[in-house]
Amino acid sequence: MVIQERHRDPYRAFFTADEALGDYMVSLLDLSDGDQLLEPAAGDGHLIDSIKKAQSSCSITAYELNPRQIDNLCAKFTSDNSVKIIARDTILCPDLDLRETFGPRFTKILANPPYGGWQEYERRDDLKKRFRGFYVRETYTLFLLRCLRLLELGGRLVFIIPNTFLYLNMHEPLRKYILENFSIDSIDNFKSSLFPGISFGYADLCIISITAKPAGDSHAFRLRFVDSIDEFDSSAHSKANSRFVLQRDILRKPNYTIPVSADKSSEEQLLGHESLMADVADCVTGFYSGNDKRFLRRASVTVKRSNGYEVIEQAQVASNLEGITEPLDGIEGDRCFVPILKGGGFHFIKPTMWYVDWSKEAVAHYKADRKARFQNPAYYFRKGIGFPMVTSSKPTASLIDGGLFDQSIVGIFPKNVELEFLLAYCNSKPFWACLKTINPSANNSARYVLRTPIIRGEPDQEAIIAQKTRELLDLIRNGGKGGDKLQAEILDSITRYVKQKASNKALEPTSLRAAAQL
């Protein structure tokens, strides 16, 4: 596979010449003589090569926008009358508009479309009109939408694309559209790193096969997680690591999320048994000044990624936040900087590294400035839990101790559970495993955190965890010894009761692994 430079790249092409992959995708098409096939992003023609290997007498229409690849395609297939090369934009081509409206449509569509291609701002306006209600800043989903509309009734489409559309909130309308109007035949999930030169930090890949007909109540599709390229061999694609999912069950889910694992997910297993975060806490996004270099101060020169920021003077720091009578109006006087939690990296308590100007003049600016985000102010200056939006290898929830939290943080504010228990739970393996099952991407937004199952303990178990967490917080604040040992004890106690609860409810072993990663 070859990756082009990303900066404002309209093509954003990821090519694969792997024969096993191409042959497998073609096998899913179930080609017949006389098929009218569309390849909407032909690249260098590797998928067309796989079609030719199948020796099907079908007519191929191949679209490509990149001039270099158009030259390659024309040279490669110049003597093949069954392949028609068209140098146009698939998404906005007027000829395809006519075929979409009046026909004839295509009986088969095969593609490895661009991922994350740059959309010029004027083009985005046009796309919003064409694909009203859908997210238009991701190229691969636009290709998928366009091609689904170009598919003949009963025709089949096979795409290789990032699997983020299966679970991200922004793609909920796309999932609903597919589930209501088409039949999913199969989804093969696999790590992008399976192929040389590709390793998305934000997503895995999938091959999805779709038939253009509404799914009946009994229709199920095969869900598979692929561990090696060898599993794309046509003789192996029905073997282990797969299960079948009723499409109607996905359509009944609130967000229409589609599992990205062959094992039954912790979300499916636990929603019928446990609370969600939404039941026990409010989750909101924090504050943004609109100009951090102007309004923020760093605690010292040692704060990471803080070059260009002024260092706070202690005489500028507000000394008594609880004594401020109207905090949302700002603070009078010189001591007007308040602590603000930014980013993650620390369990339970993060040292104060940043302060923000909270003078009356500054607050008035935040409320009026278009770039600033004076959002969810009812949660400012309250005690809560800060959970970083950008993911890491493990959870790093830390205390919001009455100051502010910025927009890189999901603020979690308990409603009917002890703050210290929930703080400990948000640092635990079970919480992390459930969250990552719901949202494997790099962005932990408030909406995903709200949907995360919370495996509650017995009242006495939660009370003990809360008390030990209070002891831990005091140790960390005062620089006492034994903090690491106590933290491990707290997190281990959560792991133990989750294990016990799972055992008592006779959850399947695979479900327990997915739920708690124990």
287-298 per-position pLDDT tens digit: 999 999 999 999
- 12 domain-assigned: no
Q: 182 φ, ψ to 5°? A: -135, 170
Split at pLDDT 50, 70, 90, the class of 101 is: very high
- 8 domain-assigned: no
Task: Check whether 14 has a pLDDT greater than 60.
Answer: no
Distances (CA, A) of 226 to 182, 195, 278, 475: 24, 12, 33, 46
Helix H or strand E encompassing 410: strand 409-414
Task: Check whether 459 has a pLDDT greater than 50.
Answer: yes
pLDDT given at position 118: 57
Express each pLDDT in 121-133 by its tens digit: 778 888 999 999 9
236 and 353 both lie in a single domain: no
91 and 131 both lie in a single domain: yes
Check: pTM over 0.75? Answer yes or no.
no
- 106 domain-assigned: yes
State how far the Cα of 140 lies from the Cα of 114, in Å rounded to an integer: 6
245 and 286 both lie in a single domain: no
**Is the separation of the CB atoms in 161 and 40 below 8 Å?**
no
Query: 141 or 441: whose pLDDT is higher?
Result: 141
Domain boundary among 207, 226, 261: 261
- 335 domain-assigned: yes
303 and 383 both lie in a single domain: yes
72 and 161 both lie in a single domain: yes
Q: How many domains does the chain have?
A: 2
pLDDT given at position 365: 97
Question: In this structure, what CATH number is given to the domain that contains residue 91?
Answer: 3.40.50.150
Q: Are strands 337-341 and 383-388 parallel, antiparallel or unpaired?
A: unpaired
56 and 162 both lie in a single domain: yes
Task: Check whether 323 has a pLDDT greater than 80.
Answer: no
**Is the separation of the CB atoms in 356 and 340 below 8 Å?**
yes
243 and 354 both lie in a single domain: no
413 and 295 both lie in a single domain: yes
pLDDT given at position 203: 63
456 and 313 both lie in a single domain: yes
Task: Check whether 85 has a pLDDT greater than 70.
Answer: yes
Domain boundary among 204, 226, 261: 261
Q: Per residue in 363-380, is it b (16+ CB within 10 Å) or e — as a string?
A: bebbeeeeebbbebeebb
221 and 299 both lie in a single domain: no
Domain range enclosing 444: 279-512
Q: Could you tell me how far CA 98 lies from the centroid of its own chain?
A: 35
Average pLDDT over residues 62-80: 90
Split at pLDDT 50, 70, 90, the class of 264 is: low
Domain boundary among 213, 230, 261: 261
Q: Bridge partners of 223?
A: 187, 243
E-strand stretches of 64-167: 83-86, 106-111, 151-162
Average pLDDT over residues 488-499: 92
Query: 455 or 511: whose pLDDT is higher?
Result: 455
- 88 domain-assigned: yes
Two structure tokens written together for 425: 């739970």
State how far the Cα of 413 lies from the Cα of 93, in Å rounded to an integer: 49
- 10 domain-assigned: no
Long-range contacts of range 448-451, CB-CB < 8 Å, 24 or more positions apart? 448/169, 449/277, 449/283, 449/387, 449/410, 449/412, 450/276, 450/277, 450/278, 450/283, 451/255, 451/267, 451/276, 451/277, 451/278
Two structure tokens written together for 497: 């009761």
State how far the Cα of 218 lies from the Cα of 249, in Å rounded to an integer: 10
Query: Considering the chain, what percentage of its residues have pLDDT values greater than 90?
Result: 56
Question: Which of 348-362, 385-399, 402-416, 503-517 is least confident?
Answer: 503-517
- 157 domain-assigned: yes
- 3 domain-assigned: no
379 and 506 both lie in a single domain: yes
Residues 184, 189, 194, 197, CA torsion sign: positive
Secondary structure string (H, E, C) spanning 337-397: EEEEECCCCCCECCCCCEEEECEHHHHHHHHHCCCCECCCHHHCCCEEEEEECECCCCCCC
Q: Are strands 453-454 and 275-276 parallel, antiparallel or unpaired?
A: antiparallel
157 and 213 both lie in a single domain: yes
Task: Check whether 306 has a pLDDT greater than 80.
Answer: yes
Q: In sequence order, what DSSP letters do the residues of 7-75 get, joined into one string?
A: TT-SS--B----HHHHHHHHHHH---TT-EEEESS-TTSHHHHHHHHTT---EEEEE---HHHHHHHHH
Two structure tokens written together for 180: 């209501």
